[in-house]
Copies of this chain bind each other. A is one copy, B any other.
């Protein structure tokens, strides 16, 4: 019936052509083009696998391979029983160069809250406080030993009640002990707090790595398959050059644009 098939049960080929694109890539292309042309808009349902299989005269597995590729590219959502949707692509801007600037702090929380509100959304942060021994990664940046305890403030940040990023701050014991930093909840701002206890951050070192999320991060942030994250590690130093804080943020790529404003000398 189909003009495509020349061989049953094996590799199908197009008549008069030696090879060209795989079948599943042709199915993927068709959908990609439909999305580009906005025939399928963000939020729209993608036709069921069975329907696409019949439409393109291929097996359901082949359709699945195409859909998998598109999901990996971040174009589609997936989920048992739910059907597939075209993903929306709104991004929140996060001003990392002014994040610790005192002018952006308020009684309403830290600079991140301000950023979110300015963009017309509602921020929320869940903070838990622990005392723990540091990982290699943290100990090295705080310049302490692996058995020296640190105070950890673990944040999950929400926007409009959707989980949006993870941000864990680590403080050396001698900096945090007996201060507001030991208090759970969204207590004003770390930048502000650090300054108020005599450890204003005079220098910041930001390291950014791009990678796929771990299973755990993926679950906590409710990430779709194939959605990359940035791991942002900020180390803050006080006037004496001592590291007083390390913040590790896991930032879903599809929901953020990171922004730095620089004035080179």
Chain A interfacial positions (CB closer than 8 Å to B): 72-74, 91, 96-98, 100-101, 191, 201-212, 225-226, 228-230, 251-254, 256-265
CB pair A228–B203 under 8 Å, yes or no, is: no
- Which 7 A-B pairs give the minimum distances between C-beta atoms? A210-B253, A228-B228, A208-B258, A206-B260, A204-B262, A73-B212, A210-B230
Chain B contacts for A212, CB-based, 8 A: 72-74, 226, 228
A229 to B96, CA, bound (A): 19
How many copies are assembled?
A: 2
Chain B contacts for A202, CB-based, 8 A: 263-264
Chain B contacts for A259, CB-based, 8 A: 205-208
Chain B contacts for A73, CB-based, 8 A: 212
Closest chain-B Cβ to A21's Cβ sits at a distance in Å of 10
Chain B contacts for A225, CB-based, 8 A: 72
Closest chain-B Cβ to A215's Cβ sits at a distance in Å of 9
Chain B contacts for A228, CB-based, 8 A: 210-212, 228, 253
Closest chain-B Cβ to A78's Cβ sits at a distance in Å of 14
A257 to B229, CA, bound (A): 13
